[in-house]
């Protein structure tokens, strides 16, 4: 494995009171942290002190669980801030860390999305990022006048067009359009304003956007697609690709493929950062770390765990299937192909029962547990092994696992020369080592 020069990138995935569905039950969390701005701001400040590249906010525009019994036992999906207003508040309470929020291309208008993220970029002095997602829950669709979510091909087709409209709107004004010449009365040079006049398959948007070009030119674009359409979109337009792959070999293949695809689109492959998810529980000794995780996972009620597996299988109801039997053949779902396929492949390869899968999906199998040295070894192996340019670090419960990562793992990464000791740039593009895009002409 050839060692890489350069440093890795780390985003802090903030889902208060934690990613784990039972995180809110942990005695060291504040159960209502999802709508407590002081709590969320303190998490962002911890991440900033540790010099993370960005905080990252996932999102759903609806409540995805069907059963009230399950729903009433989880926190995140029910009770969280809207991400762009949250980021604006975090922008005011931080000064250097990047701020990435999710906005769906399925049930939004590109004019609003372009404007909101341009605003965030101006408010934060160039620290905004947009995580471009397509929405895949019927519960979300039903909040926007539809009976079911869009099929996979349509939502990626719309996402491609939506992205191009948003970035086109960001380019409404040239960078030096604004003259602010009080004496002559010329506010901007009209030759440097460009309406978009977009008319496509899904969208018709005239423009121009009513705000100056963002400080970063374009806020950082993040994408997580792993299907053929998703990989194509990400390699064409994304600055950061977020993946859920947990196997090193597969992550290396994915990494190589994405970089090749970026090059095929005429891009510098180094300008598309591959950041897999990394869920971490750490402690000074391995047994302490395992105890920490065990104290968390014992809090998850079995019906919630089963519902979570159903959710990742496209909403298929598993309650009639024996827990110790194999996964039944499910109808092909319209939902996230990749997650579903990965579960099926795992189940077949390892001959897993539904009970095994429940544990794997909802519990601990996707969390790396160990000493700071072990975590750093894992990170280093993936980084130097060209499986990752860094990670979206996922915190099972907050602030505990974030504090541990910041206090234990980050110093170890620094000792190994893998991570910055302080910010050297001002914008999220600076942190990520990405160029400022020029206007499309």
The angle at the Cα of 346, spanning 352 to 102, to the nearest 5 degrees, equals: 125
Show the 3-state SS of 180-230: EECCCCEEECHHHECCCCEECCCCEECCCCCCCCCCCCCCEEEECCCCHHH
* Minimum distance, C-beta of residue 406 to its own copies, in the bound complex (Å): 22
Candidates 82, 151, 176, 317; binder of its own copies (CB under 8 A) is: 82
Does 207 bind its own copies (CB under 8 A)? Our answer is: yes
Does 66 bind its own copies (CB under 8 A)? Our answer is: no
Q: Is 156 annotated as a binding residue?
A: yes
Q: Minimal CA–CA distance to 240: which of 69, 390, 37?
A: 390
Candidates 108, 252, 340, 373; binder of its own copies (CB under 8 A) is: 108
Residues in 155-184 at the binding interface with its own copies, rule: CB under 8 A:
173, 178, 180, 182-183
Residue with tokens 């003259």: 179
Candidates 11, 46, 75, 334; binder of its own copies (CB under 8 A) is: 75
Does 290 bind its own copies (CB under 8 A)? Our answer is: no
Contact 101, 121 (CB under 8 A): no
Candidates 203, 248, 323, 352; binder of its own copies (CB under 8 A) is: 203
Does 295 bind its own copies (CB under 8 A)? Our answer is: no
Contact 223, 132 (CB under 8 A): yes
Candidates 1, 6, 95, 143; binder of its own copies (CB under 8 A) is: 143
Candidates 144, 316, 344, 423; binder of its own copies (CB under 8 A) is: 144
Q: Is 202 annotated as a binding residue?
A: no
Write the burial class of residue 169 (CB in 10 Å: 0-12 exposed, 13-18 middle, 19+ buried): buried
Candidates 185, 266, 331, 417; binder of its own copies (CB under 8 A) is: 185
Does 63 bind its own copies (CB under 8 A)? Our answer is: yes
* Minimum distance, C-beta of residue 115 to its own copies, in the bound complex (Å): 5
CA atoms of 349 and 434, how far apart (whole Å): 39
CA atoms of 217 and 171, how far apart (whole Å): 8
Tokens of residue 63, six digits = 């409540």
Q: Give the residue with the Cβ less far from its own copies, 164 or 412.
A: 164
Does 120 bind its own copies (CB under 8 A)? Our answer is: yes
Does 148 bind its own copies (CB under 8 A)? Our answer is: no
Residue with tokens 């101006």: 122
Q: Give the residue with the Cβ less far from its own copies, 43 or 173.
A: 173
Does 91 bind its own copies (CB under 8 A)? Our answer is: yes
Candidates 188, 316, 344, 423; binder of its own copies (CB under 8 A) is: 188
192-200: long-range contacts (C-beta < 8 A, 24 or more apart)? Answer: 196/165, 196/168, 196/169, 196/172, 198/164, 198/165, 198/168, 200/161, 200/165
Q: Give the residue with the Cβ less far from its own copies, 118 or 229.
A: 118
Residues in 8-37 at the binding interface with its own copies, rule: CB under 8 A:
22, 24-27, 31-32, 35, 37
Write the burial class of residue 332 (CB in 10 Å: 0-12 exposed, 13-18 middle, 19+ buried): exposed
Does 193 bind its own copies (CB under 8 A)? Our answer is: yes
Tokens of residue 402, six digits = 């974030």
Does 347 bind its own copies (CB under 8 A)? Our answer is: no
Q: Is 59 annotated as a binding residue?
A: yes
Q: Report CA Rg, the chain.
A: 22
Q: Give the residue with the Cβ less far from its own copies, 301 or 326.
A: 301
Residues touching its own copies: how many (CB under 8 A)? 78
* Minimum distance, C-beta of residue 280 to its own copies, in the bound complex (Å): 23
Distances (CA, A) of 200 to 166, 180, 212, 234, 306: 13, 35, 24, 20, 42
Residues in 390-409 at the binding interface with its own copies, rule: CB under 8 A:
none
Does 333 bind its own copies (CB under 8 A)? Our answer is: no
Contact 329, 313 (CB under 8 A): no
* Minimum distance, C-beta of residue 64 to its own copies, in the bound complex (Å): 9
Question: 370 has which bridge partners?
Answer: 282
Candidates 112, 201, 348, 415; binder of its own copies (CB under 8 A) is: 112
CA atoms of 255 and 391, how far apart (whole Å): 13
CA atoms of 127 and 129, how far apart (whole Å): 7
Q: Give the residue with the Cβ less far from its own copies, 83 or 390.
A: 83
By CB under 8 A, which span of 85-93, 250-258, 260-268, 374-382 interacts with its own copies?
A: 85-93
Residues forming the annotated binding site for FMN? 59, 102, 152, 156, 227
Residues forming the annotated binding site? 59, 102, 152, 156, 227
């Amino acid at each position: 494995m050839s060692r890489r020069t350069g440093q890795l990138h780390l985003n802090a995935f903030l889902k208060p009171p934690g990613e784990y569905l039972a995180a809110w039950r942990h005695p060291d969390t504040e159960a209502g942290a999802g709508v407590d701005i002081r709590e969320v701001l303190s998490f962002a400040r911890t991440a900033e002190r540790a010099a993370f590249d960005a905080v990252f906010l996932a999102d759903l525009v609806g409540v995805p669980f069907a059963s009230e019994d399950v729903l009433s036992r989880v926190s995140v999906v029910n009770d969280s801030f809207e991400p762009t207003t949250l980021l604006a508040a975090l922008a005011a309470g931080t000064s250097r860390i990047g701020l990435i929020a999710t906005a769906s291309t399925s049930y939004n208008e590109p004019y609003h999305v372009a404007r909101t993220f341009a605003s965030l970029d101006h408010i934060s002095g160039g620290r905004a990022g947009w995580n471009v997602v397509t929405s895949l829950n019927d519960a979300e669709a039903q909040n926007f006048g539809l009976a079911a979510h869009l099929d996979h091909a349509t939502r990626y087709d719309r996402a491609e067009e939506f992205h191009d409209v948003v970035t086109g709107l960001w380019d409404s004004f040239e960078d030096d359009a604004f003259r602010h010449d009080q004496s002559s009365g010329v506010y901007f040079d009209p030759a440097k304003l460009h309406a978009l006049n977009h008319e496509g398959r899904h969208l018709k948007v005239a423009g121009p956007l009513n705000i100056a070009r963002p400080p970063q030119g374009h806020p950082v674009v993040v994408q997580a697609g792993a299907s053929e359409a998703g990989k194509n979109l990400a390699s064409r337009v994304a600055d950061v690709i977020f993946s859920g792959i947990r196997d090193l070999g597969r992550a290396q293949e994915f990494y190589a493929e994405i970089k090749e695809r970026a090059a095929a689109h005429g891009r510098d492959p180094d300008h598309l950062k591959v950041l897999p998810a990394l869920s971490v529980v750490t402690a000074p000794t391995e047994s302490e770390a395992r105890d920490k995780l065990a104290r968390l996972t014992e809090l998850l009620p079995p019906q919630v765990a089963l519902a979570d597996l159903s959710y990742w299988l496209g909403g298929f109801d598993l309650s009639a299937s024996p827990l110790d039997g194999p996964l039944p053949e499910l109808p092909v779902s319209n939902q996230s192909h990749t997650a579903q396929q990965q579960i099926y492949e795992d189940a077949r390869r390892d001959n897993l029962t539904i009970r095994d899968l429940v544990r794997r999906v909802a519990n601990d199998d996707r969390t790396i547990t160990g000493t700071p040295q072990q975590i750093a070894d894992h990170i280093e192996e993936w980084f130097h092994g060209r499986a990752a340019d860094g990670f979206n670090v996922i915190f099972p419960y907050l602030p505990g696992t974030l504090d541990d990562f910041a206090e234990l793992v980050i110093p170890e990464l620094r000792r190994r020369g893998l991570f910055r000791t302080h910010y050297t740039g001002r914008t999220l593009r600076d942190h990520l080592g990405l160029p400022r895009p020029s206007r499309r002409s």
